[in-house]
Structure 1
Amino acid sequence: MGDPRQTKRKAIQLRRLVFRLPAVFSTMLRSKTASFSDSSRMRKETVSLGWNEAAARTVITEIEEQLRRTAPSRPASTGEEYSAEDLRLVEAIAEETRLAGANNISRTAAYLACYQTCPELHWAFLAHMVSRNAGWNMTDLHSSRMADVVDAEERRLTYRFLERSNALIFQDAYPQLRLYMKSRELGASRFHLLPFFHVSRFMRPFWERFWIDRGSALLTIGLIINEQNYIEKRVVRHPYFQKHVTGKMNFRLFSLAGLNQVVFPLSEQAKGDGAAGGKVRRLAGRTVSD
């Protein structure tokens, strides 16, 4: 027989969930209506992404060539073919990644610092915004409203799910961003060092092409695909998280209601500028969506 206390706890949780359903569906309706309205307005004010079809085809060809090779490239387990300068650079970036990856706050700040230094790294700003929203969601898990719907253990596991996803993405992506920034400082590509950070071979053609033409749109798409794939098996489809988080009814209801969506600003206005004559810089569609 099951534990009576656990059965009672589940019954209480179910009653709370049923009680909250009208509010959840009301929030969902308002969220979807607002999203549709904003999306319609943004479609009327589209901004060119600066897409380079020829560059994209070149990258695709290089990736297909990689897939045709039967033997994987030799892992960078030794430093025989690398200079002492290369090894020092790798060690420095590894340490920077360790320090900046201490928690979600430091990761969020690190992404923004990358973007501010190199505005052509559109993905860095996208990652900053996603990481910041994840922090809000992680904080919301401990709010009194969540306590009415989700028990402490489920909140803990959901928090772990969000933290694990964001930490893994940072672990994979931040060294790539720093390697580009260092390459720019040195005036020469250092993307042959990507294997040191266990970055997928899929990404090197994107970075090499970006080094040539600074095509932000293509690089951003490459990073989005790579990072989503990076956490797919490790978190999203991992049996543990499927059982304890993504398979739960609460998690699915929050997704339907839009309560775990990422929110991006449509524009920003410099502080002190008046509404009539101030210069407004559009974000969504120019930087975030690139």
Structure 2
Amino acid sequence: MLKARETLHTLEKLKKQLQKKYKTTDVQTADPLPSKDQQLIASIRDKTKKLNINNVTRTKAYLDFYLRHPEIEWAFLGHMVSRNGGWNMTDLKGEFLAKLLTEKEQMQFFSFLERGNWLIFQDIYPQFLLYEESLTRQQPHFSLLPHLNVSTFMEVVWPEFWKNENRTTLALAMIINEQSYLEKRVIQHPEYQNTVLNTIMFKLQDLLNMSHIIFPYHQKPNAINSLVGRTLNQFSSLPRRIGLGKQLYAILFSDPNRLKRIMNWAVATPHTGSRKDYWPHIFNNVKETLPGQLYIPQTKNCMLQKGSQHIYSPRLEYAWKNSNHAKAEAGDWFTSWSAIDYLEPITENINGEIKHDYCETIEKLEWTVFTKNVLFQRQQ
């Protein structure tokens, strides 16, 4: 009850601060910065750019930061979700989707995933570095956030965190910020609307329940890694994406013992982009099937049948080249008070059971590929 009361008090303070911010004409961004601050901004941008090369470098950067600052819980959530982003990218060149999509469609899907992954990092990581510098200098420097093109929303949230150290409120605010940041830049962007979000294959992905976010962890010594997570349908819905982020956060941080196991797995398992990282008993980053070979379904309940070949899941570095990105679109997403409502924490218990659905998806994909191959052979 006390924690709920503290959270409610924090939310009310944030609302008042945002109202005050909107009523004030902010001219700070037009004023020249002292040279020391200019150097700091330049350094932050340079460090962010060097780490924002591809999904693997971003994912590692999130984990490294979390290990330095475990109070910034979104950093670990971001790390685990970014791992899933990498797996989704390599799936496009893996055993199944490479057979279901044309090369053009694969590239369009990758561009969609990569742009979102890149945009989130270039928005959130400068915030992390500014917080880290504030700790070093022992005083907040969040007035510099506008110079890093960070939303007014976070410009108000960070000083409150500095004062009250409410980890949950900060994490939820970051979930809201990042998903809202993507809304016009990726989800509603005409290019991705036309090539990805409105395509038959994206709807097929939704139908097959392929939008799983999974968190592996060691349950028992020498046993197959356990999985928890959630599935997102209707990816184009902002409220659903924010809701999913809150659920994933609850799955990670509601159970300290499970959190420790997930974190131990993440630290011990470098992210490569291959699903072999968590289930080497099913996946391999080396292709075992021969070119043109008819794929026969070979898994049951996420176990390979005797004598079956592993499912191909390549490393990111072999699946995709690094991308050159256009500059992030300008503008502040925070134009509606309704975003504040999303800050309410989840109160219900979420166990995160996902293995059954995930295994079912693998089997659906196997049979989809098998059916397509059989029909294609009959037409020849």
TM-score, with length taken from structure 2: 0.56
Q: Which residue of 1 aligns with 2:257?
A: 281
Name the counterpart of 2:208. 257
Aligned residues: CA RMSD: 2.6
Change (3 A) 1:124 1:49: farther
Q: Which runs of 5+ in 1 are unaligned?
A: 1-47, 273-279
Within 5 Å, which residues of 2 pair with 1:182-221?
182-221=133-172
Distance in 2 (CA, whole Å) between partners of 1:154 and 1:211 is: 45
Find the residue that maps to 1:264 and give its secondary structure: strand
**Within the alignment, does 1:107 sit opposite 2:83 as a pair?**
no
User: How far apart, CA to CA, are the structure 2 residues paired with 1:83 and 1:103?
Assistant: 33
Q: Does 1:58 pair with 2:13?
A: yes
Q: 1:76 pairs with 16, 25, 29, which one?
A: 29
1:121 aligns with 2:72: yes
Q: Distance in 2 between matches of 1:85 and 1:66?
A: 26
CA distance in 1, matches of 2:22, 2:103: 46
Contact persistence 1:51–1:218 (CA under 8 A): no
Task: Say whether the 8 Å CA contact 2:108–2:196 is kept in structure 1.
Answer: yes
- Taking the aligned partners of 1:283 and 1:137, their CA distance within structure 2 comes to 23
Cα distance, 1:255 vs structure 2: 2.2
Q: Which residue of 2 aligns with 1:164?
A: 115
Q: How many Å separate the matches in 1 of 2:206 and 2:109?
A: 13
Q: Which residue matches 1:228? A: 179
Aligned residues: 229
Q: Compute the displacement of 1:74 (Å).
A: 2.0
Q: 1:50 touches 1:215 (CA, 8 Å); kept in 2?
A: no
Tell me which of 46, 62, 65 is aligned to 1:95.
46
Kept after mapping to 2: 8 A contact 1:49/1:217: no
The AA in structure 2 aligned to 1:173 is: I
Gap regions ≥5 residues in structure 2: 223-255, 264-344, 347-380
Determine if contact 1:50/1:217 at 8 Å carries over to the other structure: no
- Structure 1 distance, partners of 2:169, 2:67, is 20
Q: Aligned in 2, Cα 1:138/1:90: closer, same or farther, shift over 3 Å?
A: same
Contact 1:51 1:217 in 2 (8 A): no
CA shift in 2, pair 1:51/1:136, >3 Å: farther
Distance verdict in 2 for CA 1:51–1:146, change over 3 Å: farther
Structure with greater helix percent: 1
TM-score by length of 1: 0.72
Query: Aligned in 2, Cα 1:194/1:268: closer, same or farther, shift over 3 Å?
Result: farther
**Percent of residue pairs bearing the same amino acid type:** 36
Shift of 1:188: 0.6
Aligned residue type for 2:185? R
Question: Could you say if the C-alpha distance between residues 50 and 185 of structure 1 is closer, same or farther in structure 2, counting changes exceeding 3 Å?
Answer: farther
Query: Which residues in structure 2 correspond to 1:1-12 (within 5 Å)?
Result: none
What displacement does 1:77 show? 4.4
Q: Using CA pairs under 8 Å that are at least 6 residues apart, name the structure with larger relative contact order, 1 or 2.
A: 1
